[in-house]
Amino acid sequence: MADEETVEKVEGEVGRMQINPTEYILFSLKEYKGRHYIDIRKYVVSDSFTGFTKQGVRFSSEQFDRFEALVGMLKEALAHIS
User: How far is the C-alpha of 80 from the C-alpha of 67, rounded, in Å?
Assistant: 20
CATH code of 64's domain: 2.30.31.10
**18-62 per-position pLDDT tens digit:** 999 999 999 999 999 999 999 999 999 999 999 889 999 999 999
> How deeply is 43 buried, as exposed, middle or buried, from its count of CB atoms within 10 A (0-12, 13-18, 19+)?
buried
Is residue 30 one of the residues assigned to a domain? yes
CA distances from 49 to 16, 45, 81 (A): 18, 6, 38
Cα–Cα distance measured from residue 39 to residue 51, given in angstroms and rounded to the nearest whole number: 14
Question: What is the residue range of 45's domain?
Answer: 13-81
The number of folded domains in the chain is: 1
The whole-model pTM stands at: 0.79
Residue 64 resides in a domain? yes
Inside any domain, residue 5? no
